[in-house]
A and B are shown apart, each in its own frame.
Chain A
Amino acid sequence: MKDRLFGRFVAPAILAVAAGFFLLPLFAMLRFALQNIQVIDLRWSNIFEKWSLAPLWSAFSDDQFGRALTLSLQLAFGTGLVSLILLVPTIVWVHLRLPRARSAVEFLTILPYVIPAIGMVAGIMVIKPHARWFLNSDLSLIPFYVVLALPFTFRSIDTGLKAIDLRTLVEASRSLGFGWIPTIVRVIVPNLRSAILSCLFLTVAVVLGEYTIADVLLKRTFPAFMGEYRGSDPKGGYGLAILSLVVTTLIFMIIGFVSRPRSMRRPRTKGTT
C-alpha cells in the first residue's frame, strides 16, 4: 500500500519539483532572450506575446560567430581523435596486461572532474613562458580538453571494452596473424562502435561547454564568444546559451540511443547444432 502510494503520488511529485528546479530558470532565460518585452513587464498574461528569433539571428550574423563555432568544432574533432588514439590502446593494455592497475587509472581519470579547471589554468600559467610557440596556436587547447574530457571518455571506452570478450578476441586475432595495431584497428574498434560514438559526443559536449581555459588563453572558442557576446547583446547571448544547451541535450539523447544494449549481442548460451 505504502509502495503504491509512493509510486503514484510521491515519486511523480519529486520528479515534478526536480524538473521545475531545472526547467523554470531555463524558461525564464528563454523568455528573457526571445520575447521582445522589457524584463520588468514579463507576466504570465503575456507569455505568448512578442516571441522573436531576431536576437539569435543577429548573433548568428556576427562575423565572429562562424569563426568561433568552427574553432570549437575543430577542437572537438581534434580532442575526440586524440582521446581515442590515446585511450583505446591504453585501456586495452590495462584490461589485458595490468588489470590490477585499472582502479588506479580510473582514479586518475576522475581527477579532472574533481579538480576545477582553474587548477589546470594555474598549471598552464607556469608553463606559459616556456611554451609560447605551442600556446599561440588555437589548437593548443586540444591537450587540455583531452584531460578535461577524461572522466567521460575513459568511462565510455572502458564500459565498451567490458562488454566484449576482449582477451579472446585479441588472442584470436593474434593467433590468426595480425599484430597489436592491426588487431586494434580491425577487431577492437569495429566492436566498440557505440562506445566510440558516445566518447566522441561527450567530447563535443565538453568542448562546447568549456569556458575557463579558453578565456585565460585568449582563444575565441564558441563558449568564449558566447560570454563576450552576452556583454554587448545580452538577449542574443542568452539565446545562444539556450541553443547550446539544446544541442548538448540532443547529443546526450543520441548517445542514449546509440549506446542502447543491442539485441544482437553474441549469444553466450549453450547452443545446439
Chain B
Amino acid sequence: MSALEFHRVRKLFGATVALTDFELAIGPGEFVSLLGPSGCGKTTALRIAAGFERADIGTVRLGDRDLSPIPAHKRNMGMVFQSYSLFPNLDVRRNVAFGLKARRVDAVTIARRVDEMLETVQLTGLGDRYPHQLSGGQQQRVALARALASQPEVLLLDEPLSALDARVRSDLRDEIKRIQRETGVTTLFVTHDQDEALAMSDRVGVMSNGCLEQIGAPHEVYQSPASPFVARFVGSINEIPSAAGTILVRPEALEIHDDMANATWTGTMVASTFQGPSTIFEIRLDVVDALVRVHTATGRHHSSPGDRVSISMKGTHILID
C-alpha cells in the first residue's frame, strides 16, 4: 500500500487550473520530488497533502485513511517551509519541542527527543539560541528537526533550500538526504531546481500546467523523457529541425568527428568552453541553421573555433517533437 496517494485530484483557483487529474502514489520510505516551473501546481499538491488547501475533486490518502475530512493539525505530517518558519519567540529547544507538546508528550521524553533531533541535524549546543541568532542554514536545520521530532508519517518539504546560498544549499541537500535515509520517513519534496531533484530523489515527478508529465527514477526522467516538455525542462537539450520534426537530443548524446564521412550533420566549430572534466563545444550546423552544444570528456576531441567537424548521434536519448 502507498504511504501517500493522490487520486484524480483537481484544484482551481478562480479560473486558474492549479491541478488537474493529478495522480501520484508514494511508497513507504520513498523520497519523491515534484519538479516543475513556477505555477505548475507542485506546491498546491503539497499544500493539499498538508491540509492547507482543499482539493475540489479527488482524494488524498495517507495509508488507508482518506485525508479529506482531517484538518491540517491532525494529519501527522511534518513540514519544512521555503521561508524561515521558526517561532521567533521560542529558542531552538522549544521550537523543536513544539510538535511534541501538541501531542502531550511528557517532559522527560520531550527533552530526550529534542537532544536526539539536535544531534541528528548537528546543532547540539545551540539549543538555547533564538532564531534571530542563527544563520539561514541553521534555521532550516532546526525546522527539519522540528518537523521530524514528532515522528510524522510523511515529511513535506516546500522548497526548503531556495532561500539559502549555493554552498549551504548543497551541504543541506546532502544532510536532508542522509537524515531521510536514516529515519526512513516518506518524503515529498517540492522544488524548481532540477539538480536538487535529481540528486536527492528516489523518483522525480515532472509537472506542467497542473499535470504530472512523467514520474520515474532520476536517470529515467533524464535519459528517457516522456514528453518534449520533460526533455526541455530537465537538463539541457539541443533542438535540431528535421523533416520528421524537431529532434531533441542531449549534448552528451552527440559525438564529434574530424572525419566528414558517415556523419549525420556537418558544421563549423563556433566555440569551446573548458569545464575541467568535460569540454563543451558549440557547433553551427550547415544544412539546418541550428547551433548545437556537444559535451565530451576533456581530451577526447581537439578542435578549434573555425574548424570543420561532423556530428553523429550515439543513438539514445532522442525524442522527436
Listed in ascending order, the chain A residues whose CB lies under 8 Å from chain B are 164-165, 168-169, 171-179, 182, 187, 190-191, 264-273
Contact = CB atoms under 8 A, between A and B. Distances in A.
A132 to B, nearest CB: 44
A178 B138 contact: no
Nearest to B76: A177
Interface in B41-90: 50-52, 71-79, 81, 83-89
B225 interface: no
B84 A266 contact: yes
Interface string B117-149: 000000000000011101111110001001100
Contacts of B88: 164, 191, 265-266
Q: Is the interface of A mostly helix, strand, loop or mixed?
A: loop
Contacts of B253: none
Nearest to B75: A175
Contact of A271 (B52, B75, B83, B138): B138
Given A171-B85, A175-B73, 15 more contacts: A169-B85, A171-B50, A171-B72, A172-B87, A172-B143, A172-B146, A175-B75, A176-B102, A176-B147, A178-B98, A266-B131, A270-B136, A271-B138, A271-B165, A273-B172
A268 B143 CA distance: 15
B71, B72, B136, B172: most-surrounded residue (chain A CB, <10 A): B72
A165 B87 contact: no
A270 B165 contact: yes
A168 B80 CA distance: 10
Contacts, number: 109
B171 to A, nearest CB: 6
7 contacts: A168-B84, A172-B79, A177-B99, A265-B88, A266-B84, A271-B134, A271-B137
Contacts of A270: 136, 163-165, 168
A22 to B, nearest CB: 39
B33 interface: no
A172 B85 contact: yes
Contacts of A273: 135, 137-138, 167-168, 171-172
Nearest to A267: B132
Which of A164, A191, A267, A268 has most B Cβ within 10 Å? A267
B131 A179 contact: no
Given A177-B73, A187-B87, A273-B137, A172 B81 contact: yes
A191 B102 CA distance: 19
Contacts of B150: 176-177
A171 B81 contact: yes
Nearest to A264: B132
Contacts of A165: 83-85
B103 interface: yes
The 3 A-B pairs of least Cβ separation, nearest first, read A271-B136, A177-B102, A271-B135
